Structure 1
Amino acid sequence: MSPTSEKDAQKEADRIEPVLKRLWEEKKWDPATVRKELLRLGYKEERFSASGKRLGGSLTVRGMNQRYEGDHYVTPEGAKVGLRVHDDACVTAWVQKTNYEVKTNGPFPETGCFEPPYGH
């Protein structure tokens, strides 16, 4: 990230953090609720064409990644947040039953603002 992009990403992370903290305290971490609350900050949902070309928007909220537990896969409750601030800067966050986190990072080639689930 460039220094300017890093500063801008931190500014957006600072806007998102209190919302996720409040939702976590209220035990509201489902993707639909998280998306609704973050859209109230003025963000637009990120959209893509069928071929994967970005069409606009900057916010993506989705469920948590599945993980293998015992002898089967489970999907934990919670939501993951990816906010594209600039081409070289993102805010990545999540909120779930046990805790929440908001941080800044550059985009990943494979998954955009979301960290790849199994490394890259």
Structure 2
Amino acid sequence: MVTSTTPWRRRRAAPVLLLSAAVALTGCGTERATDTAAALPTSLARSSPPPSAPPTPTSPPASPYVEPGVVDGAPHIGDNNAYRRTGTLSPAGEKAARREAARIEPVLKRLWRQKEWDPESVRAALLELGYAEEGSGEAGERAGGTLGVRGMDARYETDHYVTPDGAQVGLRVRADACVTAFVQETNYGVKVNGPYLETGCFEPPYGH
């Protein structure tokens, strides 16, 4: 009887061992899956926030020294160039000045073509139109006459001043009206305007 029960116990024990092995294998697989999920980097689980945009630069405040209407923004350019402003030209004064400019322009054109732009030649040609040369008193004030002719103003070039050949003309037509003109080697010009603050009917040079 003892020998007959031993093989039965061995046969019953074999399924128990196989079942234990299967449970063990299943348990290992579950643990690996859990470990893999835990090992995933957090960057795959949620997206990173987008980088913030750089701040928009703001324009600097306007300078308090820029005058209204000044294009290049130079401070006090209007005050510095006040000497180049002309007086108010009335409609009657403009009409009278244009009439005299129409007489002067052909003379300057002829002199320019003849290459005679020195002040002496220009003065003599304009006096032939009947104008009287403007004089000056002891204190430098105007004294009679309306025509003024003089050489060109010196101008600065590179590192020194140069006085170009030519003549400039100032004709006082009325108290508020002038003919301002010039003739030189390169060109000539005639315009009407009110008198300048410091130079009368002559256009003042730059760099005052």
Normalising by the smaller structure, the TM-score range is: over 0.9
The structure with more strand, counted as a fraction of residues:
1
**Structure 1 stretches (4+) deviating beyond 4 angstroms?**
none
After superposition, the C-alpha distances for 1:68-90 in whole angstroms (9 at most, x for unaligned) are 11221110010000000000000
> Which residue of 153, 172, 196 maps to 1:108?
196
Deviation at 1:119, TM superposition (A): 6.9
Q: Secondary structure at the match of 1:15?
A: helix
- Using structure 1 for the length normalisation, give the TM-score: 0.96
Q: More deviation in 46-55 or 8-17?
A: 46-55
Distance 1:78 1:53 in 2: 25
> Which residue of 93, 96, 107 maps to 1:8?
96
Give the number of the structure whose alpha-carbon radius of gyration is greater. 2
Q: Equivalent residues in 2 for 1:23-62 (5 A)?
A: 23-62=111-150
Distance 1:66 1:29 in 2: 16
**CA RMSD between the two structures:** 1.2
The amino acid across from 1:73 in the alignment is Y
- Using structure 2 for the length normalisation, give the TM-score: 0.56
Q: Secondary structure at the match of 1:93?
A: strand
| Structure 1, unpaired ranges of 5+ | none
Q: Secondary structure at the match of 1:68?
A: strand
Relative to structure 1, the CA distance from residue 119 to residue 75 in structure 2 (aligned partners, 3 Å threshold; closer, same or farther) is closer
After superposition, the C-alpha distances for 1:37-89 in whole angstroms (9 at most, x for unaligned) are 00000000111112122211000000000011122111001000000000000
Q: Secondary structure at the match of 1:82?
A: strand
| Structure 2, unpaired ranges of 5+ | 1-88
Distance 1:29 1:53 in 2: 27
The number of residue pairs the alignment matches comes to 120
Give the fraction of aligned pairs with identical amino acids, expressed as a percent: 68
